[in-house]
Structure 1
Amino acid sequence: MREVDEANTEAKRRMVIDAAVRCLARNGVAKTSINDICREAGMRSGHLYYYFENKDALLAAVMLRNHDRTIETIEHMLDGGDLISQIVDVHVQAEAGRLAYGLTPAVRIELECYFSRLPEGEQSRATSSDRLLDAMRSAAHNAVAAGRLPGDLDIEGFVSAVALIWQGLSFSRLSPEFDIDEMRRTVRLLMEPWLSATGAAR
């Protein structure tokens, strides 16, 4: 019975998150209220607090949906041959996961800005960012050990470069002219100096 209850609770949480995403897409973060989300989810006003402590907790859940899957993808992002394509592919896969439940780049960036202004939001955001960076470090160390990246690679510099590329790709998606293939070519030009020592940039 407990497993059934937990499954039902998780299903309701996902339903509320989906409703929140639809409201955010229509109204933006500042103009979306708990009442709006309750109406969208088809639940009584205030019932939402059984699933989320407050609006900020709900918005954090929107941001972090699929986060664990993204972390796992990052940890293995340098396991194959064409490392540059894999770096771009991680962004593409993460974005596809977000778009699958309606979280557009514009709304995600708006959420990032919203949380950056909150002390507790900044802490949560930093924790999330640390997990992503740690996963990238792990992937880079494994690639160096396997000879897919140069042995003298500056790991921290490499991780920072990849993080900046992903941020740039996210903002680039706001443009209607966004072309992922053109972005791949640009990323290759940026990353080849890091990888040329092992011939990984092919």
Structure 2
Amino acid sequence: MARKLVHEQHEGKRQEILAAAHRCFLQHGLQGASISMICKEAGMSPGHLYHYFPSKEAIVEAMANDYLAELHGHFNAHEDGASTATVLLSELWSMKGWDALSHCRILFELLAEAGRNENIHAILKDNTDGIRALLARTLKAGQERGEVDPDLDPGHTSAVLVAILDAAPMLPLMASDIDFEESRKLITTMVARFLQPPITAVGE
């Protein structure tokens, strides 16, 4: 019991550090945010922080991996019989507003850093590969049910869908008056129409 409590306390502190790092990265950028800034935001000394993460890069890696784990949860929580488009966009549909998606904006910091840092690029690629694998399995299941165009390659299509999912949280930055509910309905409609099998003309 004591060991479980220690583990929970350790994990709780890790999540506090990750939340503090996320706030720093959003405010100062991945390059601009330093370990000292993260320590100040988390209210701890560098020595204490290094007990949980050996480097800033380790913090970034944990953030990327946690995001993938969260996405797994959204995929597994959808209702049976839900449309393929709804399952694919399950993270978007789990949110209540644009503020709930603000955590995703760190992705654009990661994308910029990936062009400069091979380790970050590898982390990002590994996580994207994991997300694409989830999407590809959902697409294949949709094809088997006749919901998804059988001519679409699941691997290639999953990459296009990742781009759509990643771009969605940026909408309010580009158009401040855009409505969240209407936007995700439009995104779902767009994805559903993209995936639907071609209509066969009568007599063909």
TM-score normalised by the shorter chain: which range applies?
Answer: 0.7 to 0.9
Tell me what 2:15 maps to. 14
1:104-151 CA distances to partner (integer Å, 9 max, x unpaired)? 62x431233123421111111111011000011111112222333244
Counterparts of 1:30-45 in structure 2, within 5 Å, are 30-45=31-46
Q: Does the aligned pair in 1 maintain the 2:114–2:124 contact within 8 Å? A: yes
Partner Cα distance (2:79, 2:158) in 1:
12
Mapping 1:148-167, distance limit 5 Å: 148-167=147-166
Deviation per residue, 1:71-110 (Å, 9 max, x gap): 24346769534443444443343x66995596362x4312
SS at match of 1:84: helix
Q: Unaligned stretches of 5+ in structure 1? A: none
Q: Does the C-alpha gap of structure 1 residues 30 and 193 become closer, same or farther in structure 2, counting only changes over 3 Å?
A: closer
* Residue 113 to residue 80, structure 1, CA distance change in 2 (3 Å): farther
Match of 2:118 in 1: 119
**How far, CA to CA, are the matches of 1:32 and 1:11 in structure 2?**
22
Structure 2 length-normalised TM: 0.77
Normalised to the residue count of structure 1, the TM-score between the two structures is: 0.78
Q: 1:97 to 1:38 in 2, by over 3 A?
A: farther
Identity %: 21
Question: Could you tell me how far 1:183 is from its partner in structure 2?
Answer: 5.4
Measured after TM superposition, the shift of residue 179 of structure 1 is: 3.4
Cα distance in structure 1, aligned partners of 2:99 and 2:9:
24
Q: 1:6 to 1:99 in 2, by over 3 A?
A: farther
Asked if 2 retains the 8 angstrom alpha-carbon contact of 1:75 and 1:138, the reply is no
Question: Partners of 2:136 and 2:103 in 1: how far apart?
Answer: 27
Kindly tell me: are residues 77 and 149 of structure 1, through their superposed partners in 2, closer, same or farther at Cα, counting changes over 3 Å?
Answer: farther
Contact 1:75 1:139 in 2 (8 A): no
Alpha-carbon separation, structure 2, partners of 1:193 and 1:102: 26
- Paired with 2:126 and 2:166, the residues of 1 have a C-alpha distance of 17
Partner of 2:179: 179
- Give the superposition deviation at 1:171: 3.3
Distance 1:96 1:61 in 2: 25
Identify if the C-alpha distance between structure 1 residues 90 and 12 changes in structure 2 by more than 3 Å, giving closer, same or farther: closer
Q: Which has the higher contact order (CA 8 A, sep 6+)?
A: 1
| Distance across 1 between alignment mates of 2:164 and 2:52 | 35
In 1: Cα distance, 2:76 partner to 2:23 partner = 31
**Residue 168 (structure 1) aligned with residue 167 (structure 2):** yes
Looking at structure 1, the residues matched to 160 and 100 of structure 2 have their Cα atoms a distance apart, in angstroms, of: 27
Structure 1 residue 29 corresponds to structure 2 residue 52? no
Alignment of 1:92-107 (within 5 A): 92-93=93-94, 103=103, 105=105, 107=106
Return the alpha-carbon distance in structure 2 between the equivalents of residues 77 and 156 of structure 1: 22
Amino acid at match of 1:125: L
Query: Aligned pairs, how many?
Result: 196
